[in-house]
Structure 1
Amino acid sequence: MNKDKQLYFGWYIVISASIIGLLTTGMRMGIGPFIHPIMEDLKLSRTEISLVVSVGMLVYGIGMVLAGFLLKIFNTRIVLLIGLAIVCISTIWTVYSKGMLSFFLSFGVFLSIGLSFLSNITLSPIVSKWFVRQRGKVLFYLTTGGMAGIAILTPVETWMIGLVGWKNTLLFFGVIFICIILPSAIFIMREDVPEEADSPGKTSGITRQEAPATVTLKDALRTTTYWKIVFVLFACGFGMNLLGSHGVPMLMDHHFGPMTASFGVGLIGIVAIFGTLFLGQLADRFPRRNILFLVFFVRGLGFFGLVLSAHTWQLFLVSIIGGLVWAGSVAMATAILGDLYGVKLLGILNGLAFFVGHQIGAAIGSFLGGWGYEVFGTHLFSFSAAGILALLASLASITLPQSLSFSKPIKLGEKHNVTTGQ
C-alpha cells in the first residue's frame, strides 16, 4: 500500500482511547442503576451510599494527580496496565464485600484509583502528542467515547442487574475491561510520535501556536486563567456526577419507571455522541472559549429542565436538547490547557485541575444529591444548584483570554517573556 494513503497511526490511538473512555466513564458516572440494589443488598441508607460515592470521586481525583505524575516517570502503557490490575482486584473485592467498611474500601477507594488510571488524564496527553492541528477535534472524539459510555452502559447495566444481579454485572464488566484495555495498552499506545505529528499546516479557522517548553508548572499555577478552568471543571464535576449518581433515582422518585428513567439519562449520552462529533468539527475553527460558553449555558438550563420534567415527552425533549452540548466541557478545557501551557505539562495540569475542581465538585454533587433529598424531601435543591453553577461556569468560560504572557526574571540586563497564543 502507498505510504501516503495509509491511515495516520494517531487515529488508532484515538479509537482505542475512546473505547477505553467509554468503559471507564460508563462505569464511573453510570453508577445510578447500581444505587438501589446495592442499598438493599448491603442495607445502606441513601446518605451512606452517597458518602461512599462522593469519597470515591475525591479518590478518583487524587488518582488522576498520581496518574499525571506517573506519566512523567513511565509511559501511557504502564499507567494503563497498573490501572487495569487495580480495577480487576477491586472489582472482585467489591463483589465479596459484606459490610459498609469493606464496600467503602473496595468500591469507594481502590476501584476509584484504578479507574482514574484509565481515565482521560492518562489518555489525553498521548492523543494531544499525536495531534496538533486537529487537537480540539480528537479531544472531542475522546469525550464522545465517555458519552457513549453513559448512553450505552446505563441502560445495559439496568437490564443486566435485573437479569443477573449487580454483582455478576460488575464481574462481567471487569472481564470486558481486560479484553479491551490489555491489548490496547500493549499493541496500540505507542509514544514514538512523528516529528510533525499530524502534519500541521493550513487549516480553516484560528491559527494556534504551541506553548514554549520553558513554561513551568509554577508559571501555570500563578495564572488566573488556570483557576478559571478549575472552576469550570468544578461545575462540570458537580453536575455530571450528580446526574450520574442520582439522575435515575431522582426520576424514579418523580414516578418515572426504571427503564424510562434509565433511558432518559442514557438519551443524553446518545445525543451527546452526535453532538460531540458536530462540535468536534468546530473545535479548531472557532475560539474554544465560545464553545465552552455555549456548552455550559445550555447545560445549566438542562438541569432545571430535568428536575422539573413531569411527563415522559418533557424528559426526552430536555435530554435531547441537553445532550447536544453535554460533553464539550472536558474536551475544550483540556484543549485550552494544552494550547496555553503545552502538552508537556498537560498530564499534571489536567490531573490537578480534575482533582481540585472536577472531583471535589463531583464529591459534593454526589453527596448533596442523596443528603439533600433526605433532608429537604426534594431533588430541586441539588439539581438547581447544578444549574446555577453551570451558568456561572459559562460566564467564566467567555472571559478566558486568547493568549497568556509569562514574564521571566531579568538576568544580566535581559528581559525574558514567554507568550502563548490561542
Structure 2
Amino acid sequence: MGGSSIGENRRDELGGRPCGRLAASVPYGHRMAALAFFLSFTSGALYLYSRGIFVRDQIVDFEASRTEISLAFAAVQVVGFMFAPILGHLLDRYPIRNVMTVGAAWLGCGFFVMSTAASVREFALMSVAFIGLGSSTIGASANSKLMVNWFDRHRGMALSVSIMGYSIAGMAMAPVAVYLLDTLGWRGAYVLFGAICLLVVAPVVALTVRQRPSAPAGQSADTPAAGRVPDSRVMYRTFAKSAPFWGAVIAFGLMTGVQAGLNLHLFLHYTELGLDEYAAASILTVSAAFGLACKPLFGALIDRCGARTAILTMMACCSTALLGFALASSHALLFVAGAWYGLAFAGLMPLQAEYLSRLFGERAFGRAFGSLRLCSFPLAVACTPLIGHVYDRSGSYVPAFYILLALFLGITAIAWLSIPTSRRDALRSRQ
C-alpha cells in the first residue's frame, strides 16, 4: 500500500488492512478506537474513579490527615507529569504497542505491591513508582497518540469517543468501588486490579495495537517510520517560544488540577453534607453519565468551531460547576451541580489532544503532549493538596471551591488572549 502520511491514506483511517472476517466488516480504525475506549475505561476504573472511594478507609488505616493523603496522590501526579515528556518521546520513537504492554504489566505489579503498604509514606512511594509511571502508558497520553495516528478529518470526534471509557468508568465505578471497599477492602481490591492488568490488559494490548493505518513498502505497520520524526531539540525550542502553547499550559493545567482534586474530594464532600455512601456514589455516577453524554458534543464542537471556542466553553462550564458546589447543600441541588461538573470536563482530554495535534502536527504530537503535561504540573498538582489543606483549616470544602472559581475567572482571560481563533492561525503560530 503506497504512501505513509495520514493525509494520503484516508481510506485507511477507517479501514486499515483487513485481518480476517471481523476486520472485513469492522474497519481497523474503529477497532483501534474501541481499544482506546477499553483502555480509558480500565485506567479510569482502576485508579481515577476508585481512589476517591478507597481514600475513606486509607485515611483510617494510615491514621493520616486529608492534607497528608492528598499529598500522596499529588505526588503521583508530579511523577506522572515529570514522566510525560519521556513517555511522549517513547511514543514518537518506538512502537506504541510495546510501550503500552510494558506499562500495563508494570501497573499490574504496582497494585500488588501497593496492597501491602503499612503507612501513608509507604503508600505514597509505591504509588509514585508504579501508578505515576504506569497509568499514563495505558491512559490519555498513549490513547491520544494512537488516535492522532489513525484519524485526521474526524480526529476530534475519534478522540472524544475513545475517551468515553473514562466516563463509563466513572458511572460504573463509584457504586462498584463502595461494594469492593465493603467486601474486599481496598487492599483486596488492589490485588484484583493487579490481576486484571496482568491477565487481561497487557495481553489485549500486545495482540491488538497497530501503530498507524499503513506504512511504506517493506516497513512494519507496528514501527514508526524512519526519518519522519522532527528533531527533538528543534521541537522543544518551538514549544518554548509558542504563546499558544503556554496559553494551553495555563488553561489545561488548571482544568486538570481541578478535575483531579474534585475526583478525590467530592465523595468526602457529599458524605460530610450528610449523604450516605451509596447516595454520594450515585451523584458521582450522574456526573460521569453527563460527561459521557456530552463527549460527542464537545467532539463536534471541536471539529466545527475550533479549539478556542471549545476551550472557552469548557472553562465557563467549569466555573459554573464550582459555583454550584459552593452553593448546593441538598441532595437535589448536589445532583444538579454534579451533572454540570460532568458536562464541564467532558471534553478535557480530547480537547488537549486535538489542539496540540493541530498546533504542532502528528509527528511531534507525543512530545507536545508530554511537554504540556510537564509544564502544567505546578498548577495541576497544587489543586489536590490545596483542597485538602483548606478543609483541614476550615472544616469545609466550600472555601476551596470559591478559591478555584476565582482562579478560573482570571485564567479564562489569559486563554482568550493567547489561544488561536482558527486552525489557520494555529498553523501560522508554529511557522
TM-score by length of 1: 0.86
User: Aligned match of 2:276 in 254, 257, 273?
Assistant: 257
1:363: which partner in 2?
A: 381
User: Aligned match of 1:374 in 378, 392, 396?
Assistant: 392
Paired residue secondary structure (2:305) = coil
1:156: which partner in 2?
A: 176
User: Aligned match of 1:19 in 11, 14, 38?
Assistant: 38
Aligned partner of 2:290: which letter? V
- Contact 2:320 2:340 survives alignment (8 Å): no
Q: Distance in 1 between matches of 2:152 and 2:400?
A: 39
Query: For residues 182-202 of structure 1, what are the alpha-carbon distances to aligned partners after superposition, in whole Å with 9 as ceiling and x for unaligned?
Result: 233212210142379xxxxxx
User: Aligned match of 2:294 in 247, 268, 275?
Assistant: 275
Q: CA deviation at 1:218?
A: 1.5
Aligned residues: 396
User: Aligned match of 1:310 in 329, 332, 347?
Assistant: 329
Query: For residues 332-366 of structure 1, what are the alpha-carbon distances to aligned partners after superposition, in whole Å with 9 as ceiling and x for unaligned?
Result: 12101101100111111111212321x43332111
Q: CA deviation at 1:213?
A: 6.4
- Contact 1:39 1:45 survives alignment (8 Å): yes
Gap change, CA 1:152 and 1:307, over 3 Å in 2: farther
Q: Distance in 2 between matches of 1:352 and 1:310?
A: 39
Q: CA deviation at 1:85?
A: 2.1
| Structure 2 unmatched ranges of 5 or more | 1-19, 217-228
- Contact 2:38 2:165 survives alignment (8 Å): yes
Note if 1:120 corresponds to 2:166: no
Q: What does residue range 14-413 of structure 1 map to in structure 2 within 5 Å?
A: 14-30=33-49, 31-194=51-214, 216-357=235-376, 359-399=377-417, 400-401=419-420, 402-403=422-423
Structure whose residues are more often helix by fraction = 2
Aligned partner of 1:256: which letter? L
Q: CA deviation at 1:393?
A: 4.2
Q: CA deviation at 1:167?
A: 0.8
- Contact 1:57 1:360 survives alignment (8 Å): no
- Contact 2:66 2:389 survives alignment (8 Å): yes
Paired residue secondary structure (1:133) = coil
Which region of structure 1 is more displaced relative to structure 2, 136-145 or 336-345?
Answer: 136-145
Q: Percent identity?
A: 19
TM-score by length of 2: 0.85
Gap change, CA 1:140 and 1:388, over 3 Å in 2: farther
- Contact 1:268 1:326 survives alignment (8 Å): no
Paired residue secondary structure (1:10) = helix
Query: For residues 352-407 of structure 1, what are the alpha-carbon distances to aligned partners after superposition, in whole Å with 9 as ceiling and x for unaligned?
Result: 212321x433321111121111112221222223323334444444441125779x
- Contact 2:391 2:397 survives alignment (8 Å): yes
Q: CA deviation at 1:250?
A: 1.4
Q: Distance in 2 between matches of 1:252 and 1:377?
A: 13
Q: Distance in 1 between matches of 2:81 and 2:402?
A: 24
Q: Distance in 2 between matches of 1:218 and 1:291?
A: 27
Q: CA deviation at 1:420?
A: 6.7
2:7: which partner in 1?
A: none
- Contact 1:292 1:398 survives alignment (8 Å): no
Aligned partner of 1:336: which letter? Y
| Structure 1 unmatched ranges of 5 or more | 197-211, 407-417
Q: CA deviation at 1:179?
A: 4.2
